Structure 1
């Protein structure tokens, strides 16, 4: 089975990151995670990040840098982790995809439950080095 590609948007506002709770229309609802989404055919990772953020939470963001790569625990997706500034604008979640949102510090993210192991690794190991 061929791996698909997805982006993870690490949206930064001050020292906080946007965490979303997966909504009822997506796989594994209820998990907290950074915003993410599939890269569509013909789209760059940066374009996918901007589009997914706009669709899911209504923010206009500017990608900064790709900071990590991982894969989902079921191996179906290769995840490309990008930081992006989200200094202004109101979060307006798409209710099908996003049940809740909050701006959290890395420590607060690690206290959320449930979270995916790969996301936990990012917040524990990768983000502090950035």
Structure 2
């Protein structure tokens, strides 16, 4: 199986991270997760982070650092996890892709339901050391 490449943007504002609930029109609707999206042909991971964040929530961000790599539970995507500072600007969700957004602490994220196991692993194991 050929895996596609995708980014996960861990948008931080103070001690909080932006969580989005997947919209009804996308696969796996209703799941809470950090913002994510496919890397387009010819695009760098950093470019994909900036583009996906703008498309999904209307924020202009500068990618920070790649902090982790994982794969989706169905094995279809390799995920490249990036931090990005989202210190200012209003979140304007794309209603097709994003049903709801919340700035949450890592503990609050882990209490959201449902979430993907890979996201749980990131918030429990990787994020505390960043």
Give the TM bin, normalised by the shorter chain. Answer: over 0.9
Correspondence for 2:80 = 80
> Within 5 Å, which residues of 2 pair with 1:1-130?
1-130=1-130
| 1:107 partner SS | helix
- Give a deviation string over 1:15-62, Cα, whole Å, max 9, x none: 000000000110010000000000000000000000000000000001
User: How many equivalent residue pairs?
Assistant: 130
In structure 2, C-alpha distance between the alignment counterparts of 1:88 and 1:58, rounded to whole Å: 11
Task: Could you tell me which runs of 5 or more consecutive residues in structure 1 were left unpaired when the two chains were aligned.
Answer: none
Shift of 1:71: 0.1
- Give a deviation string over 1:80-124, Cα, whole Å, max 9, x none: 000000000000000010000000000000000000000000000
In structure 1, C-alpha distance between the alignment counterparts of 2:25 and 2:81, rounded to whole Å: 23
| 1:51 partner SS | helix
TM-score when normalising by structure 2: 0.99
In structure 1, C-alpha distance between the alignment counterparts of 2:128 and 2:42, rounded to whole Å: 33
Shift of 1:79: 0.1
In structure 1, C-alpha distance between the alignment counterparts of 2:11 and 2:81, rounded to whole Å: 10
- Kindly report the root-mean-square deviation, in angstroms, between the aligned alpha carbons of the 2 structures: 0.3
TM-score when normalising by structure 1: 0.99
In structure 2, C-alpha distance between the alignment counterparts of 1:121 and 1:66, rounded to whole Å: 16
In structure 1, C-alpha distance between the alignment counterparts of 2:25 and 2:62, rounded to whole Å: 27
